[in-house]
């Protein structure tokens, strides 16, 4: 059951970090909805969702407060539900997610630091895949040779490595917002290729196996060439 109105006697603003624009800024409640978990006809837990709008960038955010108390502090207790911090798939190893999380926090406010931290995240990927050469470039090349990442990824990682170098050493070079977007898209595509897609394929095969009688043959996971 849902209501779509603001609860009474609650504040309608909260100052919070906005992942869209990177500012800590007032967020305005633009709507709320309370969801009831019912067990044996009794409401056992209420969760209130707050739709918020950033007053700086107008970006939309969703917060949720579990175990609603209606004491005027539910909005204060609510946790950010969307956009989640980095949104990396839960199947990505924790060490890599932590590295990327750090990068994501400074993506808007410091593109240079973002590039450096993405470089570190790539090192974490290499380490997780069992490759630790003298340099990041050599590690990535080894991953290509082992067929763990496609050649096009290794080429792109050279660009990231160069950009990361600008950030790590004092130069006049600057990382701009469009480069940040390219780096971020690339890193996420690499993560999808290495960790997420294989897991999705095996989930899919397991589901197909459950549904079909007799079971369908397994899909070849190794691409041609």
Q: Contact positions toward Zn ion, by CB under 5 A?
A: 18, 20-21, 54, 56-57, 59
Q: Which is nearer to Zn ion, 61 or 65 (CB)?
A: 61
Q: Least distance from C-beta 110 to Zn ion, angstroms?
A: 16
Q: Which is nearer to Zn ion, 61 or 163 (CB)?
A: 61
The Cα-based distances of 78 to 2, 50, 164 in angstroms read 17, 8, 36
Q: Which pair of tokens denotes residue 133?
A: 């050469």
- Residue 216: phi and psi, rounded to 5, are -75, 155
The C-alpha atoms of residue 73 and residue 131 are separated, in whole angstroms, by 49
Q: Which is nearer to Zn ion, 31 or 130 (CB)?
A: 31
Q: Least distance from C-beta 113 to Zn ion, angstroms?
A: 19
Residue given tokens 């490759």 in the structure block:
131
Q: Which is nearer to Zn ion, 7 or 22 (CB)?
A: 22
Q: Which pair of tokens denotes residue 207?
A: 């589901």
User: Which runs of E-coded beta strand occur in 87-176?
Assistant: none
The C-alpha atoms of residue 11 and residue 55 are separated, in whole angstroms, by 15
Q: Least distance from C-beta 55 to Zn ion, angstroms?
A: 8
Q: Least distance from C-beta 85 to Zn ion, angstroms?
A: 14
């Amino acid at each position: 059951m849902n209501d779509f109105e603001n609860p009474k006697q609650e504040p309608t603003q909260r100052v919070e970090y906005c992942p869209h624009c990177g500012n800590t800024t007032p967020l305005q409640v633009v709507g709320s909805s309370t969801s009831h978990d019912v067990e044996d006809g009794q409401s056992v837990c209420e969760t209130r969702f707050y739709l918020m709008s950033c007053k700086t960038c107008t970006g939309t955010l969703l917060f949720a407060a579990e175990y609603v108390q209606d004491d005027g502090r539910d909005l204060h207790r609510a946790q950010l539900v969307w956009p989640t911090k980095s949104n990396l798939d839960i199947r990505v190893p924790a060490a890599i997610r932590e590295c990327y999380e750090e990068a994501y926090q400074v993506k808007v406010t410091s593109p240079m630091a973002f590039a450096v931290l993405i470089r570190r995240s790539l090192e974490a990927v290499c380490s997780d895949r069992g490759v630790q050469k003298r340099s990041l470039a050599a590690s990535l090349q080894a991953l290509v040779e082992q067929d763990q990442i496609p050649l096009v990824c290794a080429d792109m990682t050279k660009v990231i490595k160069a950009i990361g170098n600008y950030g790590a050493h004092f130069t006049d070079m600057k990382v701009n917002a469009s480069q940040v977007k390219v780096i971020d898209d690339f890193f996420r595509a690499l993560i999808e290729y290495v960790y997420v897609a294989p897991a999705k394929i095996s989930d899919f095969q397991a589901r197909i196996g459950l549904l079909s009688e007799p079971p369908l043959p397994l899909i070849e996971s190794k691409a041609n060439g």
